[in-house]
Structure formats: C-alpha cells, structure tokens
Amino acid sequence: MAEGLQDLYEASYRRLVAQLAAMTGDVAEAEDLVQEAFARALARWPQVRGCDNPEAWVRVVALNLARSKWRRATRGAAVMLRLRASHQEAPPPSPDHVTLVEAMRKLPAAQREALVLFHVADLSVEDIARQLGIPAGTVKARLSRGRAALAADLGQGTDAIEVAS
C-alpha cells in the first residue's frame, strides 16, 4: 500500500528533523512534527508518491504543522494572559541551546524559515520559492534581512549573500 514510503522515511527522517529543529529550536518537537507529517503522507501516499518530490511534500507539511502549532501556542498564550491577568515569563532556553538557536528564535518565522531551507536544507532560492509559493525575490529579501538580523545579534559583520540556483 505504501511502497516506497518506508525508504523515503529511512532516507530523509534525520535530515528533515535537523531542518525542523533549526526552525523550531527543539529537536523533540521537530521529531514530533516530522513523524506527524509522515503519518499524513502515509494516509495519502498514492497522491504524495505522484508528486515530483515526496520529501519536499513531507517537509512542507511539517513546516505547516509547525506554523499551526505556533499560532495555537500564541492564541493559547493570549487566552492565558487574559485569564490570569498577569504576564508569565517564558522559561529560559535550556543550557544546551546554542547562541545561534537563541538568535534564530528572535527572528520572524518567515525569515527563519527561509534561512533554514537555504542553509540547512541546502535548497536553492528557486526551490524555496516554489515550495513556499512565494516569489524568488521575496525569498532573497527574507534571507538578506534574516542574515543581517542574525549578524547584528551575534556581533558579526554582514556579507553579500551568495545565492546559488
């Protein structure tokens, strides 16, 4: 029924988790998202298999799940704030979170997503644009702004971005 999905799972699981972990800053959450995305791929494998790039399908589903989770968390936080009428500080990042991850977390989600797909998933600007459904110019702008923000936060200078097709 799902011929080929197990091969895809075994070949791409670690890579996808690494990409989602860079996006969310949490490996356990990334694993949860990737497993859920694969479960959804299994549910409609005949259609997913027909895609040009099933791995990209799983990655986009996992990214969408991450966004939904973030929105729910944001809404939930707002409700909690209204109910408690007091602000609770988010727990500090655990000690093993590297500086880069902390800096990444401060970025807007769109810029973080573009940076992760470009630098961690090693996709081209055109591939990112295709997968996110946005113009390539927008991807370049997000990459440029994200890198500038990261460089400022990490105390580095900025270089001109090299975009390989």
- Interface residues toward other proteins, by CB under 8 A: 4-6, 8-15, 17-19, 21-22, 27, 30-31, 35-36, 38-40, 42-44, 47, 49-57, 60-61, 64, 98, 100-101, 115-116, 118-123, 126-127, 129-133, 147, 150-151, 154, 156, 159, 161-162, 164-165
Q: Which residue has the tokens 């500090």?
A: 92
Q: Which residue has the tokens 């399908």?
A: 57
Q: Distance from first CA to last CA of the chain, Å, rounded?
A: 36
Alpha carbon distance 34, 14 (integer Å): 9
CB of 16 to other proteins, least distance (A): 9
Please say whether the beta carbons of 112 and 104 come within 8 A.
yes
Residue 116 or 142: the one with the smaller Cβ distance to other proteins is 116
Residue 132 or 142: the one with the smaller Cβ distance to other proteins is 132
Residue 22 or 142: the one with the smaller Cβ distance to other proteins is 22
Please say whether the beta carbons of 30 and 21 come within 8 A.
yes
Residue 11 or 81: the one with the smaller Cβ distance to other proteins is 11
CB of 134 to other proteins, least distance (A): 9
Least Cα distance to 125 among 158, 165, 155, 97 occurs for 165
